[in-house]
Amino acid sequence: MCHSSLLFVAVASGVLLAADSNSGAKPREAKPEAMSSERFSEIHAPILQPEKPVEAGLITEKVAGSTNSGKNAVRIARRNFVDQLLFARMEKDGVKPAPLAGDYEFVRRLSLDLTGRIPSAQQVRDFVASTDPAKRDKLVDELLSSEAFVDKWAYFFMDLFRANGKMGRGQNLFHYWMKENLRVDRPYDDTVRDIIAASAKSNHVVAASNLIAREHVQGKPQPDDGKDFGMVQQLDTHDELAVLYGKTFLGINFSCISCHDGRGHLEKVNVWLSTRKRHEFYQMASFLGNSRYLMYWEDGKPQSGEFMIDDENPGYDTKGKSMIRVPRFGGPNQPAFILTGEKPRENEEPRVALGRMLTAHPQFARATANLFWARLMGVGLVEPYDEFDLARMNPNQLPKGWESQLFHPELLETLATDFRKNNFSLKRLFANIVKSNAYQLSARYDGEWKDGYTKYYARKFVRQLGAEEVHDAIAMATARPGSFNYGGEKMGWAMQPSGPSGGGDVKYFMQTFGQSNRSNPPKNPTGSPLQAMLLMQSSVVVDRVLARNDSRVQQLLDTYKTDNARVVDELFLGALARPASPEEKQIALDTMKTNRTEGAQNLQWALLNHVEFFFNH
């Protein structure tokens, strides 16, 4: 698809907006008959028919054909160990990498990946104009030190941990704490140990305890008496926490063996887990066996989301009843770390021991490195991030009939080792990835792309923007921030609050784009026809492109009263972070001759509906 095709439809055929030169005109309702269903499907094909994550190369091939990245140098330097390992493998196997991304492509990609926001037109212009050979590294450092970085990745962790109303008022406290950890680049292993070992008279005053409070399993709708701690199903909560810690911090899904032995169930799914027994899971959960979760009561009523968490329980009962799992059948309840069999030291509090063992094990660093590699590179070294099979990590020692789960074992090990040796710094991990030329390859590929090239990371894979990113990109491009309530204050960006915020059209818009409800683990965004329809007709888009309320269109028309070419240039830079092609520019200028205001509005709308806009590439 030509990158100008959507502009032809929106600007040249007058599908969408009609406004008088006078301000205050309302948008005309879209006419479905103005665009055939075939044309609609053709234009929005990349969002209507997305590929699965493992087929990232295929969807990238579709979307990259709609971008206008320009010509780039072919020679790729090797800047760090990421490049050395990836490009050496490509060279060995005869796989040609894509050229490096141009400055326009890079500045938009990096800004979205590190901050969740598109760059402003001025930021794009300044970056491209700079002749500093170190400008890309400097931009990385600048964005890693920004508040927007803190906002995005604190919100990411809140989604990852499904931080919601089950925390009560502690949700905002937990969010604030995660932001502070990110702001100072606190060692990630410290953060994780705090979470695992947290105790509190109230989770509303101890931030780290809120993840534990969130995972509580309700035991009864009402207590038998005011002192009944059966309101929380203690054993099931232990199990839920053990599963969460395994998936999130070790990249291993213990869910199956929390109910039964792996044998007879997991042989075709996960070799390592197929050899694990349910009693081993009991021993993992037994690190939490002393933990006690008490719901607060006042005036005979439970206080929503407020818990006391201490270590006064008698231990894990391997024959105790369960509300959500098959009956427990008994077995040892002495804590033992499932990856090593290690037990707590003498007089060591079991949860402290678990935090120590988990974060010291190499799998913690591997899982963390893989989690963020997947977020920044589009595809994890292990997919999905929480389904590691420890029996298939070493290509030289594989079970019969199985392939290695890792195509780049040395790369993952080197990333993890560097992460450990550098004080578990997340910013260092991010910088290692995004400062590599492997990350900075273009999404465009010169020559024939083959499916097998995906595992080489021979090009940058596109990804659909998340719900909050789509909203904030629209807000940035139109200079019309949102209005989200957070702690009694109004915030302009969707990732600033501690959780999904907004109502009405905004809420519906973001839910349609896959905003996490935090009841279930977050999923990668997937396309749908409804998303494309909302981009065309939702007030979240349509109201913001009008030349009123100090919108970007209004600002540009007022500032450049006779310079339509400058208006077009600024709208392109502010939405797609690139100049218009000569063809695109001429279409826009022609329509602005007829009606300057309407033409500028239609151009802004068309850019927000362009394939380039709702994908990062």
Q: How do residues 18-60 score in pLDDT, each as one tens digit? A: 333 333 444 333 333 344 445 444 444 444 444 444 467 667 7
Residue 178 or residue 61, greater confidence: 178
Residue 85 or residue 487, greater confidence: 85
Among residues 390, 257, 387, the alpha carbon closest in space to that of 328 is found at: 257
- Specify the pLDDT at position 40: 42
Please give the average per-residue pLDDT across 127-156, as a whole number: 98
* Tokens of residue 282, six digits: 């009991």
Chain centroid offset of residue 185 CA = 19
CB-based burial of residue 446 (10 Å sphere; 0-12 exposed, 13-18 middle, 19+ buried)?
A: middle
Given a cut of 50, is residue 419 above it in pLDDT?
A: yes
Q: Which helix (H) or strand (E) holds 464?
A: strand 463-464
Distance in angstroms (rounded) separating the CA atoms of residues 480 and 549: 8
- Specify the pLDDT at position 27: 38
- Specify the pLDDT at position 297: 76
Spell out the residues 6+ positions from residue 548 whose beta carbon is closer than 8 angstroms to its own. Answer: 23, 24, 554
Per-chain mean pLDDT for the chain:
89
Q: Band of the pLDDT at 229, cuts 50, 70, 90? A: confident
- Specify the pLDDT at position 55: 63
Please give the average per-residue pLDDT across 518-531, as a whole number: 82
- Specify the pLDDT at position 573: 98
Given a cut of 80, is residue 399 above it in pLDDT?
A: yes
Read off the pLDDT of residues 316-365 as tens digits, 9 standing for 90 and up: 999 999 999 999 999 999 999 999 999 999 999 999 999 999 999 999 99
Distance in angstroms (rounded) separating the CA atoms of residues 361 and 354: 11
Q: Are 512 and 528 in contact (CB under 8 A)?
A: yes
Distance in angstroms (rounded) separating the CA atoms of residues 460 and 463: 10
Given a cut of 90, is residue 212 above it in pLDDT?
A: yes
Residue 526 or residue 207, greater confidence: 207
* Tokens of residue 106, six digits: 């890079």
- Specify the pLDDT at position 152: 98
- Specify the pLDDT at position 355: 98
Q: Band of the pLDDT at 230, cuts 50, 70, 90? A: confident
- Specify the pLDDT at position 23: 38
Please give the average per-residue pLDDT across 160-174, as a whole number: 95
- For every residue of 475-514, DSSP letters joined together read HHHHT----EEETTEEESSTTSSSS----HHHHHHHHHTT
Q: Which helix (H) or strand (E) holds 287?
A: none
Distance in angstroms (rounded) separating the CA atoms of residues 181 and 171: 15
Spell out the residues 6+ positions from residue 301 whose beta carbon is closer than 8 angstroms to its own. Answer: none
What share of the chain has pLDDT > 90, as a percent?
77
Q: Are 21 and 549 in contact (CB under 8 A)?
A: no
Please give the average per-residue pLDDT across 237-255, as a whole number: 97
Given a cut of 70, is residue 289 above it in pLDDT?
A: yes
- Specify the pLDDT at position 75: 62
- Specify the pLDDT at position 199: 97
Please give the average per-residue pLDDT across 510-537, as a whole number: 87
Please give the average per-residue pLDDT across 75-104, as a whole number: 95
Read off the pLDDT of residues 354-378 as tens digits, 9 standing for 90 and up: 999 999 999 999 999 999 999 999 9
Q: Are 572 and 582 in contact (CB under 8 A)?
A: no
Q: Band of the pLDDT at 104, cuts 50, 70, 90? A: very high
What are the φ/ψ torsions at residue 355 (nearest 5 degrees)? Answer: -60, -40
- For every residue of 81-95, DSSP letters joined together read HHHHHHHHHHHHHTP
Distance in angstroms (rounded) separating the CA atoms of residues 392 and 565: 58
Q: Band of the pLDDT at 182, cuts 50, 70, 90? A: very high
- Specify the pLDDT at position 222: 76
Q: Band of the pLDDT at 526, cuts 50, 70, 90? A: confident
What share of the chain has pLDDT > 70, as a percent?
88
Worst-scoring range by mean pLDDT, 80-89, 406-415, 496-505, 575-584?
496-505
Distance in angstroms (rounded) separating the CA atoms of residues 293 and 199: 10
Pairing of strands 484-486, 489-491: antiparallel
| CB neighbour burial string for 210-246, b if at least 16 within 10 angstroms, e if fewer | bbbbbbbbebeeebeeeeeeebbbbbbbbbbbbbbbb
Please give the average per-residue pLDDT across 140-148, as a whole number: 98
Residue 405 or residue 451, greater confidence: 405
Given a cut of 70, is residue 438 above it in pLDDT?
A: yes
From residue 416, how far is each of 359, 365, 367, 577, 583 by CA, in Å? 12, 5, 8, 34, 47
Q: Band of the pLDDT at 73, cuts 50, 70, 90? A: very low
Distance in angstroms (rounded) separating the CA atoms of residues 101 and 78: 15
